Structure 1
Amino acid sequence: MICFTYPGQGSQKAGMGSAWVDHPSWELVAEASEAAGRDVGRLLLDADDDELRHTRNSQLATFTASMIALDAITRVGIETAGHAGHSLGEYSALVAAGVVDFVDGVRLVTERGEAMQVAAEEQDGTMAAVMGLDDDLVEQACVQADGDVWVANFNAPGQVVIAGSPPMVEAAGAIAKELGAKRVMPLPVGGAFHTPFMSSARDRLAKAVDKTEFRIPDHPVYANVDASAHTGAHAWADLLSLQLTSPVRWRQSVHNMCDAGYTTFVELGPGAVLTGTVKRTAKECQPLKVSAPAEIDAVLEALAGPPVAAAGPLEGEALFATERLVVSPAAGVFQPTDDDLVSAAVPAGKLLGQVGDTEVRTPWGGVIMGFLAVAGERVTASQPIAWLRTS
């Protein structure tokens, strides 16, 4: 089975939206900007690393980048059987699963970023990654430090993040080294996230969460707080509030997903942090990523390759590497061309019809295998219109 995963804060980088500007999925940026009341396109294209390091900027930019990648990969017909996001990525997962609509997701992420930024400015905090030490011993180091320091992220075997006041993080790091840690690396963040230092942010975010409508997900969503699959809507208000002051149990989530039968993890968004954690946590699983349009074909090819064939078709996979979906570029009434194109070989750019005044053209050359919309049908933007085989 395929699981889509979504990265959190720290995966962002300057110019991470540049590869997407000419892709149809870039249209989401205008919607995000309107919902947030900010120029999200500027964050994705022009903001430097220092500006993106600010929580209020990195969270909104990373969330939008993940939504662009999700939209792009669904346009070619790849579907998932589950969702999981790391910290901020949990909001991406909820939008992707239909628990929260896109506009509410933007508003929640914007409020979360602002709330966490203010909380970090109110109370000096930092984070550090402890490498090469068992989880229990990292927790022991925090206890022995006897101060404001806690485990914030269980990322992968031998990779745990601690957070708290700078002196206590330094003290716990020193103890961790005495207990056998190979390395303790300070992280370039401006707060102690996923600890009690974020209590004020949790209280502020709770007001926005209370105004949000939560729906039943299309597929299970694994929560950071308990590493469990959730198939209902009612628990998410509490889970999102708890998440700010609780550790992210990502390693446990990956283990639970593997136990549930997920074999392929596709990271959608900037960077490859989650791809790396899957490699360390579940060596028998296939980690893939989409952070730019050029990586979509590689994912399609990997899904159709020998590992997939040997195990049988993956649940959640709609198309193989040689097949593509042509989707509507706009909302309106679809009218096909007069030509009978089914089974016909067509070049890239071939006109298939119109949605209102907007032309529908295939981005690929190949054989038209069938139409998924009929003449006179009202379609939405990104709704599949036809599918073709490219070889």
Structure 2
Amino acid sequence: MSRSIVRLCLFVFLGLNACSALAESWPGEQWAVQPSSQTAALKALEDYAFPPRDDATRAGIRSDALLVIRGGRVVYERYAGATTAHTPHLTWSISKSVLATVLGVAFSQGRFQLDDPVAKFYSPFQAHPMITLKDLLHWASGLDWQEDYEYAPLNSSVVAMLYTRGRDDMARFTANHGVASAAGTAYRYSSGDSNVLSAALKTMVGEQAYEDYPWTALFNPLGIRSATWETDGSGTFVGSSYTYMTARDLARIGLLMQRGGRWHEWQLLPVAWVNFVLTPFKGKNVQVGSEVPGGHWWLNRTDGNGPGPWPDAPPDTFAALGHWGQALYVIPSEDLVIVRYADDRDDTYDHNHMLKLLRATFGKGVGNE
């Protein structure tokens, strides 16, 4: 091949990559905005997401925020009630997926391996030497845990942990639970597992660095300015429940995950970590059609050939979900990141129906491209 042809090929290659980089939108201090026009599909979405609010009874669907990012740009944004674009909203159990993302940065720094025993980093778990960090990430510690809120508050492990006996040291409260099944064999959703992970992180990074670590590791690199993360009485972040941030800031974590752990040209999360957290857990008690756990994220695909929990969304859809309707949906195949904040107090909200309406309004092949 002649030198002129080599130079031409190199020029074309570099040019194509430059065009690709220019086409890829990332938020700076602010997001680029490309608002969508009013359509019948958008009206149907708004009618579902933002019905008239009954603030007296708090019944029905009560969206506080709905933010849609497509191609790294804001294409839709609406707020309700007391929530605005500047309100750091309580995310509830979305915090668990935020914690998993922070742990992904620690993993990239070589601070732990997935098969490490939890007791290596959190000494009260010496009573449970077979439980690994991977087991906790799958909510498969095997500890006897009851994750009920309103329906069985007197028997609820999580209510006792957050509000009564366990609030001064939530990880130690979890460690004191008995064993219900062998570690790593069965999925049992547990906010306690998440808070033990948060306590283990303290040893991984060192107590002095710990109080700033979510910011130095994740929030600051992504430009997240609004985050607050409450701690328990022992100074451990409540990784199960108590992060707050604006919808636009939470969407940055969604975009990071949607793009495989990459932020601009920086691979902030290892590809191996992203693959792990987005792989279905293979243990028992994962029912077809129910929410499928990955590594502290929820998935729309199963370990077998059965349908995922949201049949009207693509199989690659995944989400961070929280109490009373909080949701961070990510649909990589459609270049979508969606944040929903809410105050739902009953079971009328339907993730699949919302995803169906969102795809009809903003999905691939729909107008406003």
TM-score tier after normalising by the smaller chain length: under 0.3
Q: Output the TM-score relative to the length of structure 1.
A: 0.25
Q: Output the TM-score relative to the length of structure 2.
A: 0.26
| Greater relative CO, 1 or 2 (CA 8 Å, sep 6+) | 2
